[in-house]
Amino acid sequence: MTFVYAFDYSHGVPLREVASLIGGKAANLGVMSRELRLPVPPGFAISTAACRLYLENGWPYGLNSEIRDHITQLERTVGRGFGHAQDPLLVSVRSGAPISMPGMMDTILNLGLNAETSAGLKALVGDDFVAACTKRFTDQYREIVGIAPPQDPWGQLRGAIEAVFRSWNSPRARSYREREGISDDLGTAVIVQTMVFGNRGDESATGVLFTRNPATGENVLYGDLMFDAQGEDVVAGTHQTESISVLDERMPELGAELRGYAEYLERHYADVCDIEFTIEQGKLWMLQTRIGKRSPQAALRIAVEMAEDEEFPLDRAQAVARVAGHLSDPPLAPAERSEDAIAVASGLGASPGVAVGEIVTTPEDAVVMAEAGKTVVLVRRETSPDDVHGMAKAAGILTTTGGLASHAAVVARGWGIPAVVGVAGVRVEGDTVTIGSETYRKGDTLTIDGTTGEVFVGAISSGAEIVPEAAKLLEWAADLGIEIETSQDDREGEDVVSDEGSAAELSRESIIHVMLIKGFVTPNDLAPILFTAPETVSAELDGLVAGGLANLVGGSALAGMFQLTEDGKAVGAEGIAADGEKWGADNAAKALDDLLPLDHRMKAIVTDWQMREVNGQQVLNDHTDGTYDAAVLTEFAALHADAVTWLGELSAGLERLGSYVARLDRAAAEVAGGDTNYLASPRIDSFHNIWFELHEDLILLAGRTREEEVAAGRA
The CATH fold assigned to 205-291 is D-amino Acid Aminotransferase; Chain A, domain 1 (3.30.470)
Q: Which of 235-244, 406-415, 695-704 is predicted most confidently?
A: 695-704
Cβ neighbours of residue 71 under 8 Å, at least 6 residues apart? Answer: 82, 89, 157, 192
pLDDT tens digits along 98-113 = 877 666 677 899 999 9
> Which pLDDT value is given to residue 628?
85
Residue type present at position 646: W
Burial degree of 19 (CB within 10 A; 0-12, 13-18, 19+): buried
> Which pLDDT value is given to residue 231?
64
Mean pLDDT, rounded, of the chain: 86
Sorted by where each begins, the domain ranges of the chain are 4-194, 205-291, 296-331+467-480, 345-457, 508-580, 584-711
**Average pLDDT of the residues in 65-86:** 95
The CATH fold assigned to 4-194 is Dna Ligase; domain 1 (3.30.1490)
> Which pLDDT value is given to residue 504?
36
- For the domain covering 508-580, report its CATH number: 1.10.10.10
pLDDT tens digits along 240-291 = 678 888 999 999 999 999 999 999 999 999 999 989 999 999 999 999 998 8
Counts of helices then strands in the chain (DSSP H, E): 27, 25
> Which pLDDT value is given to residue 26?
93
Residue 421 pairs in a beta bridge with 348
Q: Is the pLDDT of residue 643 over 50?
A: yes
242-274 residues labelled b (16+ CB within 10 A) or e (exposed): bbbebbbeebeebbebbbebbebbbbbbebbbb
The domains spanning 4-194 and 345-457 adopt the same CATH topology: no
Q: Which of 251-265, 438-452, 663-677 is predicted most confidently?
A: 251-265
Q: Is the pLDDT of residue 188 over 60?
A: yes
Residue 360 pairs in a beta bridge with 378
DSSP-assigned letters across all residues of 201-259: STT-EEEEEESS-TTT--SS-EEEEEES--THHHHSSSS--EETTHHHHH-HHHHHHHH
pLDDT tens digits along 525-575 = 888 888 777 777 888 888 888 888 998 875 433 446 788 999 999 999 999
DSSP-assigned letters across all residues of 150-212: PSSHHHHHHHHHHHHHHHTT-HHHHHHHHHHT--TTS--EEEEEE---S-SSTT-EEEEEESS
**Average pLDDT of the residues in 169-184:** 74
What one-character DSSP code corresponds to residue 555? G
> Which pLDDT value is given to residue 219?
93
> Which pLDDT value is given to residue 249?
92
pTM over 0.75: no
440: nearest Cα among 448, 431, 451, 450: 431
Q: Which of 153-157, 390-394, 639-643, 688-692 is predicted most confidently?
A: 153-157
687, 671 Cβ separation under 8 angstroms: yes
564, 548 Cβ separation under 8 angstroms: no
Q: Which CATH architecture has domain 345-457?
A: 3-Layer(bba) Sandwich (3.50)
